[in-house]
Amino acid sequence: MRNIVLLTGALALALAAPLPAQTSPERVAAAALAAAPVWDGHNDVPEQLRGRRGNVLEGFDFNDTTKEPDGDGGTRAMHTDLPRLAQGKVGAQFWSVYVSAGLEEPEAVVAVIEQIDVTKRLIAAYPERLQYAETAADVERAMAAGKIASLLGMEGGNSIGGSLAVLRQLYALGARYLTLTHSRTLPWADSATAAPEHDGLTDFGVLVVREMQRIGMLVDISHVSEATMLDALDVSRAPVMFSHSGVRAVNGHARNVPDSVLARLKENGGIVMAVGFPAYLSEPLRQWGANRDAERRRLESLNPGDPAAVTTGIAAWIAANPAPKSTIGDYADHIDHIREVAGIDHIGIGGDYDGMETGPVGMEDVSGYPALFAELARRGYSQADLEKIASRNMMRVLKAAEAHAAAHSNDPPLETKVS
């Protein structure tokens, strides 16, 4: 009887006690990022090393880049350094070995090898925090050791010099994705931001995609035209990626992914690594940029031969029409749309830090990723959802690309005649 009384009393106390507070979005995000750190699809630190330092690492301190020389005699903060990567819970990074789209192909081949070299040297200089990676297994080992798995991604097909042989050798040097174009249309693929010439991929462009997947290099279709995206999906037998793109339904920029392509990602198994570039996130900001450019053209027409008047006039216009701010909410809106059309299994993160002036408000640099994940948790994403977005989806994509290459390891290399 005494036990019954005690149990009854305990039950009454339990019922009277306040329920535990609902887990906060910040805690959900923190738990997700502890279990699955961010695997970022695109970071332009190598471009900064080239532009600011001519790839000379002497004197470069990756522990603090907030006062890094800008190459013009001053200093300007970079978006990325080791402490901020730690704050951002970044566990794997595709470092972009980008070279200018304006370089002709022979120059681009040399330049991309230089960028691979400087990036490998940077990784080797910080072995306590960075670990070079070429495979999904390498990434898993680096993450397990508490280091940032550091992979290489090429941006712009001019880097392969119109040669499948060069493509294969760049893979051998460690490049694990190729963004088929950058801002210019190539002899074999149309860019999103240049006049189309081929209605997508040419016959050689098809061979590039096929050979990339044969050897296990990820096909990145950020920056390409919608027709090129669709052609690449038609050819692909392994998942494709968008290393850093938004969605066109939220922001109409040509760089973003249309629903016609998003709808096909389920079948392909690919991934959109959502970009943090403000002009690709915020539609009001995109419209503001178009209006500013129109005003500049008007001023140039009214003031031929007087650039000072144009400069003064555009400054006055900007003062009277301040640019809208891009927010973490804008970033989350793009992720919401990818989930709605393609599904939760096809979302990743591709910040584009150090390849833009700033990230959105609250995510100005790489330390801001936890704020984005807290916003997603606030919108109802579960911890399992957030883990997929952070890195599990990208891990699946790379493993699938590797499995496809392994299944075709006995296929002969594709060949084209050289002149």
Which active-site residues does the annotation give?
Answer: 42, 44, 155, 182, 223, 244, 352
Closest C-alpha among 270, 197, 183 to residue 235: 270
Closest C-alpha among 280, 375, 377 to residue 326: 280
Instruction: Name 191's bridge partners.
Output: 224
Cα-atom radius of gyration of the chain, to the nearest Å?
A: 24
From the number of C-beta atoms within 10 Å of its C-beta (0-12, 13-18, 19+), residue 186 rates as buried
Closest C-alpha among 118, 140, 191 to residue 37: 140
CB 248 within 8 A of CB 222: no
CB 230 within 8 A of CB 262: no
**3-state DSSP assignment of residue 239:** coil
For 273-307, give the DSSP string: EEE--HHHH-HHHHHHHHHHHHHHHHHHHHSTT-H
Nearest-angstrom CA–CA distance, 30 and 387:
10
**3-state DSSP assignment of residue 329:** helix
